[in-house]
Structures are given as C-alpha cells and as structure tokens.
Amino acid sequence: MPTPRKKLPSHTAAETVPISARLTALRKLRGLTQIELAEKIGISRDLLSNYEQGRTHLTDDVIIKLAKALRISTDELLGLVDGQNSEAEKVSLRFLKRLTVIEKFPEAKKKRILRNLDDAIEANTSM
C-alpha cells in the first residue's frame, strides 16, 4: 500500500507570492529588462513575459537558468526560502546603472544633480 504524501507546512512563502510575481520583482531588483534577462538565459522576451504573467509554467531547466542569471538560489526563486541576500545586494541595479552614467558627467552637472538628490532626500525623510 502506498504511503500518504507528507503534508506541506500550512503557510509557506510559495503560497503567498506567485512565482510569476517573484520572478518579475527579482528581475527588476537586478535592474534587468525582460529583453536582457531573456537573452541571458537564451529564450525570447515573449516567453519570459508569459512566465512573468503566469501564462506559462516554468520548466526545471528554465528555473535553474533564471536562478543563475539572477544570482539567487532556486529555492529563493520558488519562494521556499526568504532571500538570503544582504541589504547591500538589494540595492536596485537600475539605480546603480544611472549613477554610473551620472559619474561620467562634467563636475558642474554632477554637483547640480547631487544637490537635487539631497533636496529630495531631505524632503522625504523629514516627514
């Protein structure tokens, strides 16, 4: 007689956030567009979009490729564990890309941008 399946814990991270939403959030956190991520793992942007919309189920092979491209564990992608990344790694790469571009600007433009950033930070932290 077959043994009954073991019951999963009543409340896991995988139950709360669908993998499609987690995939989208992780891609954006890494500062990647759909096109960039699709190229990294060797699929079309349309297929990646279908994965992110939950229209197409991820295969084991694609889960592994996505985890490698996003520099996370497959367990994190599947929602079986919370992200183990440090806070420093959670900085938006999209934001860092912009800072890299600004770094190449002439000194006067950089100072203006930094003043604007300082003003915005001050306005949003003194609430």
Domain boundaries, given as residue ranges, for the chain:
13-86, 93-125
- pTM higher than 0.85, yes or no? no
pLDDT in the model for residue 84: 53
Residue 122: per-residue pLDDT: 86
pLDDT in the model for residue 126: 67
* CA–CA distance, 99 with 95 (Å, rounded to integer): 6
pLDDT for residue 6: 56
At the fourth CATH level, the homologous superfamily of domain 13-86 is lambda repressor-like DNA-binding domains (1.10.260.40)
Q: What is the reported pLDDT for 27?
A: 92
Q: What is the per-residue pLDDT across 7-18, written as a single tens digit (0 to 9) for each?
A: 545 544 445 789
Give tens-digit pLDDT for 53-110. Answer: 999 999 999 999 999 999 899 999 998 887 655 444 556 777 878 888 899 999 999 9
More reliable by pLDDT, 14 or 38? 38
> Are 77 and 70 within 8 A, CB to CB?
yes
> With contact defined as beta carbons under 8 Å apart, do 43 and 50 qualify?
no
* Count of CB atoms situated within 10 Å of the CB of 66: 23
